[in-house]
Amino acid sequence: MTIELYHTAGSTCSQKVRLTLAEKGFPERSKDWVEHEVNLGKNEQLEPEYMKLNPNGVIPTLVDGGQAIYESSAIMEYLDDVYPEPSLMPKDPVLRARARAWIAISMRCRRRLSACPALRTCSRRCAMPSRATRNSMPTLTGFRSASSSTGG
């Protein structure tokens, strides 16, 4: 089965999917998955051929086994379901809910992933969580550690 990823290098949503592919054991472009760079400046995401894959005309789009999956968070969940090891989400329901909350906060950010409120700073368009909320948010490493100790 061939995994194909239609993406753009600088896109935060594309970066999320590439990070997920790497976590799932598919780190190398052209070896582990087929890369299709979409030029947003030329509106390639709106061309009829691409719109057949993704009727929303956005990136990224993942094609796996002939099935197109779009929206970065849905792609991440799909990859976690289809390629379950290593799991991206903890098995413990409370930790899983916290991970989903972290993902929701990060999705509010319109800038690079490194600028999301869950990681450090954020653009004005993002709702910055309170200091108490930020201090209570476990890091991804925290999720992974907790996940390992709870069998997730």
- Alpha carbons 152 and 149: distance in angstroms, whole number: 7
* Residue whose token pair is 């930020």: 134
From 11, 14, 106, 147, the catalytic residue = 11
Q: For 24-77, list the strands marked E by DSSP.
A: 34-37, 61-64, 67-70
Query: Is residue 106 among the annotated active site residues?
Result: no
Closest CA to 123 of 110, 107, 113: 110
Task: Using alpha carbons only, give the angle 139, 140, 141 rounded to the nearest 5 degrees.
Answer: 85
- Determine the straight-line distance between the first and last CA of the chain, rounded to whole angstroms: 27
| Residues identified as active-site | 11
